[in-house]
Amino acid sequence: MSKNGKLILGVAIIIAAILLIVSNRKGGDNGGAMNNARDINVGVILPLTGDAAAYGEPALKIFNIAVQEINDAGGVNGRKLKLVVQDGMCGAAGAVNAANKLIDVEKVKVIIGGFCSSESLAVVPLAEKAKVAMYNPGSSSPALTGKSKFFMRNYPSDAAQGQGLWNYAARAGKKNVGVLVEQTDYALGVSRVFEAAAQAGGATVTHEEFAKDGTDFRSQLTKLRAANVDALLISVQTPASGERVVKQLKDLGWKPSLLLSDAFVSDTAILENNKDILEGAVFMTFGGDVTNAKAASMISKYKVTNNGAEPAFVDSYALTEYDIVYMLADALKAVGEDGEKVASYAQSFKDWDGASGKVTIGADGDRQNASFVTKMIMGGKASVMQ
């Protein structure tokens, strides 16, 4: 190549580099104005296989409704949200694998999820190390309270549920209580609070556990029956696990006074199908007002795309799942695609108006202004206790 040719080539390379730098500066994150040239990848970790898919599949449908609405309205500072979904399998190992793919391969700066508490507890250290924000609509283990500045949730902690169940048992005069708990972080979180409160209240507690997704509880139930407990808390991860326990209670011919974790009763068909053994059972749940405008709109759209069916967990998880996408979008609009800034922005939510009601996030990452209500099962239906 001649000297003139080399000179021309060199000048061309320099001009191309300058143009690239200028283009990047115009499209970069500048005080919250984000690059319009690409979508914003939002990582999602949900249980999509196994019993807990009963939570993950409807959650993903609701996320998609919210994302479509946001994108149709102009997106986030002109950019569209794009969900990058991984199966957390409702456990630590699956969630870690999912998070590593999202963080290391997809390079996401924000994650919605996990759903199961075991997923979230396992992912928090990875997100913190990578400075990835976690916005969570369902993990309720008390162990997540204040776990990391990178984690927030708009579903309340189960500390209130465990304490409330004991408060009910104490008012009913229960002094010898049994606990059958599935070995998952959520189920154990409820039982630990309940047991601590019961022991502080002078009650005797007989504790039995079974492995995640277990199928044979006869040994544990026999021990609990032999302890002559006057109330039995069944704390399980999924409705399917709860129904398996109920079947073996029937097989044993034992009908104790039952207290249930809210996961047990999140499938209303189980109440109807087992109304004999569940008659009089008591549980506590977080519930939103499905008649407010945002909730009603989401439910209506869900029905259109799902053959008229309502969302599962319509007055609880469905509402927080819908809200979490909008909360994340608000954070991205305000501070840009920066995981640390998005995480810190969570504390800006004060009486944020959502489908699940007014949402305030505290310094510990927890929803502050939510409470559980006590319900009793009668005739296969759950009703708020007066």
Residues 178, 103: one domain?
A: no
Q: Which amino acid is at 21?
A: I
Question: Is 285:265 a contact under the CB 8 Å cutoff?
Answer: yes
Q: Output the pLDDT for position 6.
A: 47
pTM reported for the whole predicted model: 0.85
Tokens representing 91 are: 């456990």
What's the full length of the chain, in residues? 386
Question: Residue 194 belongs to what domain range?
Answer: 159-287+373-384
Confirm whether 53 is domain-assigned.
Answer: yes
Residues 192, 296: one domain?
A: no
Flag residues of the chain having pLDDT under 70. Answer: 1-37, 386
Residues 255, 379: one domain?
A: yes
Q: Output the pLDDT for position 147.
A: 97
Residues 193, 262: one domain?
A: yes
Residues 166, 282: one domain?
A: yes
The Cα–Cα gap between 40 and 262 comes to: 34
Tokens representing 46 are: 């949900």
Q: Which amino acid is at 100?
A: N
Q: Output the pLDDT for position 31.
A: 33
Cα separation of the two ends of the chain: 91
Q: Output the pLDDT for position 3.
A: 47
Question: Is 85:58 a contact under the CB 8 Å cutoff?
Answer: no
| Residue 237, Ramachandran bin (φ over 0: left; ψ between -120 and 50: alpha; else beta) | alpha
Residues 60, 194: one domain?
A: no
Q: How many Cβ atoms are within 10 Å of 125's Cβ, its own excluded?
A: 14
List all residues 6 or more positions away from 58 whose beta carbon is below 8 Å from its beta carbon. 311, 312, 313, 318
Q: Output the pLDDT for position 267.
A: 80
Q: Output the pLDDT for position 386.
A: 67
Distances from the Cα of 182 to the Cα of 185, 213, 237, angstroms: 9, 8, 7
Q: Output the pLDDT for position 251.
A: 95
Confirm whether 241 is domain-assigned.
Answer: yes
Residues 152, 294: one domain?
A: yes
Instruction: Report the domain count for the chain.
Output: 2
Tokens representing 88 are: 């957390």
Q: Which amino acid is at 114?
A: G
Residues 250, 380: one domain?
A: yes
Residues 177, 317: one domain?
A: no
Q: Report how far Cα 256 is from the mean position of its chain's Cα atoms.
A: 31
Q: Output the pLDDT for position 193.
A: 97
CA-derived radius of gyration, the chain = 24
Residues 302, 212: one domain?
A: no
The CATH number of the domain holding residue 278 is 3.40.50.2300
List all residues 6 or more positions away from 324 whose beta carbon is below 8 Å from its beta carbon. 112, 135, 136, 137, 154
Residues 349, 379: one domain?
A: no
Residues 238, 377: one domain?
A: yes
Confirm whether 54 is domain-assigned.
Answer: yes
